Amino acid sequence: MSLLASYTVIGGKASEDLAKKIAKKLKAKYLKSELRIFPDGESKITISGKPNGKIVIVQSTYPPVDSNLIQALSLVSKAKKYSSQVVAVIPYLGYARQDKEFLPGELVTMSIIANIFKTAGATKVIVVDIHSKMALNHFKITARNVSAIPELVKYFKKLNLKDPLVVSPDCGGITRARDFANQFGVKFIALDKHRDKKNGMVQIRSKNQKQVKGRDLILVDDMISTGGSIVKAAEFLKKQKCRNIYAACTHALLIGDAEKRIRKAGVSKIISTNTIPGKTGLVDVSPIIAKAIV
């Protein structure tokens, strides 16, 4: 890794641990940010010390999405006062699913957010496994997506799985599942999922999948939010008499009782990355982010 440039990494409150790990990999100065939330919900941020060199802001925008987003933008704007080069690392980028007008009248909020990052002063944006590449196209600055699949695959290779098969819960995830399966050295299938665009309800429309019988399955997705997609897929696969089901995702939002419902549906283990802190975040993405920065 070339270390010709000097870096300062500033960790937003949503991504402190990951930011420290990235700073270590870059042999960079690390600056902490202090956060106070005012009674009305406003974020008040203070950074300790002066950044120098290229500045890297690290802040995922998981819930509370808008607060974490405004904190990321404020940090970028502050960094711009010290450096002409500000890299915004947003490992989990909220709003990436709102990348086009699905139903008439819907706003494409991803596009607004992409513009604000540029206006705030970011010269480059780095995200991990963005929901769709289309979301990246809204950025008018360099925007790079890094894939956590190789890191997730490394983790799964250490597990002693029986005749593993990779499963995508929907056809939209075929490329992801294919990449995972190819790197793992196994086959993959995709289920036919339908989500009602008005109420968000999920349905699996696949017919019998005899090839899953007696096998360990890895359900691969970019993110688990409410768990609806994984729950429906797991319930379907259990009926097909598979052996164990593992859920692998980059971003585990696990809203509400998602984890409990996923386990109840028959998933033995959820493995995610540390783009979102939590107990399922066993796979560290700091090495791939550090590589994308330099």
Vertex 280: Cα angle to 135 and 292 (nearest 5):
45
Known catalytic membership, residue 193: yes
CB of 233 to ligand R5P, least distance (A): 9
Residues 202, 182 contacting (CB under 8 angstroms): no
CA-to-CA distance for 264 and 260, rounded, in angstroms?
6
CA-to-CA distance for 159 and 161, rounded, in angstroms?
6
CA-to-CA distance for 59 and 13, rounded, in angstroms?
7
Taking the least distance from each CB to ligand R5P, the nearer of 47 and 113 is: 113
CB of 253 to ligand R5P, least distance (A): 7
Residues at the contact surface with ligand R5P, assessed by CB under 6 A? 169-170, 172-173, 202, 221-229
Number of CB atoms found within 10 A of residue 230's CB = 24
CB of 230 to ligand R5P, least distance (A): 6
Of the candidates 170, 123, 166, the one whose C-alpha atom is nearest the C-alpha of residue 144 is 123
* Annotated catalytic residue, options 78, 124, 193, 232: 193
Taking the least distance from each CB to ligand R5P, the nearer of 172 and 278 is: 172
Of the candidates 236, 222, 126, the one whose C-alpha atom is nearest the C-alpha of residue 180 is 222
CB of 65 to ligand R5P, least distance (A): 14
How far is CA 126 from each of CA 57, 138, 197, 289, rounded to the nearest angstrom?
10, 13, 29, 8
Taking the least distance from each CB to ligand R5P, the nearer of 13 and 193 is: 193
CB of 133 to ligand R5P, least distance (A): 13
Taking the least distance from each CB to ligand R5P, the nearer of 170 and 216 is: 170
CB of 270 to ligand R5P, least distance (A): 11
Taking the least distance from each CB to ligand R5P, the nearer of 28 and 127 is: 127
Taking the least distance from each CB to ligand R5P, the nearer of 200 and 214 is: 200
Report, as residue numbers or ranges, the catalytic residues.
193
